[in-house]
Amino acid sequence: MRIFDPHVHMSSRTTDDYERMHAAGIRAVVEPAFWMGQARTSPATFADYFDSLLGWEPYRAAQFGVRHHCALALNPKEAGDPRCRDVLDLLPRYLAKDGVVAVGEVGYDSMTAAEEDAFQRQLDLAHRFELPVLVHTPHRDKIAGTRRSLDVVREAGLDPGRVVLDHLNELTVAMVVESGCWAGFSIYPDTKMDERRMVAVLRDYGVERMMVNSAADWGRSDPLKTRAVGAAMLAGGFGPDEVETVLWRNPVAFYGQSGRLVLDEPDEAAAAGEFAGNSVRRGA
């Protein structure tokens, strides 16, 4: 089973996770820019964070045979913080870089005017840099937030085929499918979606423009949940080709619109070296 996790926060995970992921069939990931659990207080902290997503993290992933890409943005949780607004001026320098395959996560947390302004401005950047967009649908008031997110995408004039709305559930999937956007689902141990519910959604809506991710982060989450969905699909009567479509072909097709995906095996010589004089290895 070949797997591409289209939304996972590997900066929050250990090298043991990379090793387990590779053993489970995960060969590529996208790491979207994310709230780190504590408020950042200046754009400079975002610059360091973006640099790590473009440098150290791809190097670390390569040690375990995983291709790492990223999506960059001012995330919805911090979009309303006036200390972070200048990040929007910083983004163009980063969105031009190889390894950035989308703008994201963007969207709403509390559905404030400041969040909406940042959302709209980043959709404009996605259009300018010809990048797909990963939209975070809010965890509170999800139906209204998803509906408003679709309105903002529509008003921005973006091709819906270049937009994925993530963290969907049974109550929001229909409106996203009808819009022509891609539908993303985060599979969690206790919250959001689980494997059984995901299989039921796929039975109802099919596998076209459907993406499944672990969204694993610093909280209770599991970077092997994509593999669990594949196993549940097979047990539920889906064929290997449909599993491959959901877990590999769909994220490749979506992020491939950036023209920046690299999906061959990491070069062993490069992976065995160092990054800026540092290594993940310990001992001799």
Query: Residue 86: its pLDDT value, please?
Result: 95
pLDDT for 65-102, tens place per residue? Answer: 999 999 999 999 999 999 999 999 999 999 999 999 99
Q: How confident is the model at residue 274 (pLDDT cuts 50, 70, 90)?
A: confident
Question: How many structural domains does the chain have?
Answer: 1
Looking up residue 202, the CATH number of its domain turns out to be 3.20.20.140
210 φ/ψ sector (left φ>0, alpha ψ -120 to 50, else beta): beta
Report pLDDT digits (tens) over 200-254. Answer: 999 999 999 999 999 999 999 999 999 999 999 999 999 999 999 999 999 999 9
Report if residue 128 sits inside a domain.
yes
- pLDDT value for 208: 98
Mean pLDDT of 57-64: 94
Q: Mind spelling out the 3-state secondary structure of 71-82?
A: EECCCHHHHCCH
- Whether 274 is covered by a domain: the verdict is no
Residue 268 lies in a domain: no
Residues 6 or more apart in contact with residue 48 via CB below 8 angstroms: none
pTM over 0.85: yes
**Overall average pLDDT of the 120-144 stretch:** 96
Check residue 192 and report its DSSP letter. Answer: B
Task: Evaluate whether residue 281 is within a structural domain.
Answer: no
Q: With pLDDT > 70 as the criterion, what percentage of the chain qualifies? A: 96
Average pLDDT over residues 25-47: 94
Of the chain, the percentage scoring pLDDT greater than 90 comes to: 88
**Residue 270, pLDDT score:** 60
Q: Is residue 284 part of a domain?
A: no
Q: CB–CB of 63/123 below 8 Å?
A: no
Residue 273 forms part of a structural domain = no
Side chain identity, residue 6:
P
Angle, helices 43-54/87-95, rounded to nearest 10 degrees: 20
Residue labelled with tokens 């949780």: 77
The answer to whether the CB of 17 falls within 8 A of the CB of 280 is: no
pLDDT score recorded for residue 265: 87
Q: What is the pLDDT of residue 21?
A: 98
CA distances from 61 to 7, 267, 272, 276 (A): 15, 12, 12, 15
Q: How much is the average pLDDT of 250-274? A: 86
283 band by pLDDT with thresholds 50, 70 and 90: low
User: How does the average pLDDT of the chain come out, rounded?
Assistant: 94
What domain range is 39 assigned to?
Answer: 3-260
Q: pLDDT digit string (tens) for 138-161? A: 988 999 999 999 999 999 999 999
Q: How confident is the model at residue 279 (pLDDT cuts 50, 70, 90)?
A: confident
Per-residue model confidence (pLDDT) at position 284? 46
Predicted pLDDT at 266: 84
Per-residue confidence band for 193, with pLDDT thresholds at 50, 70 and 90: very high
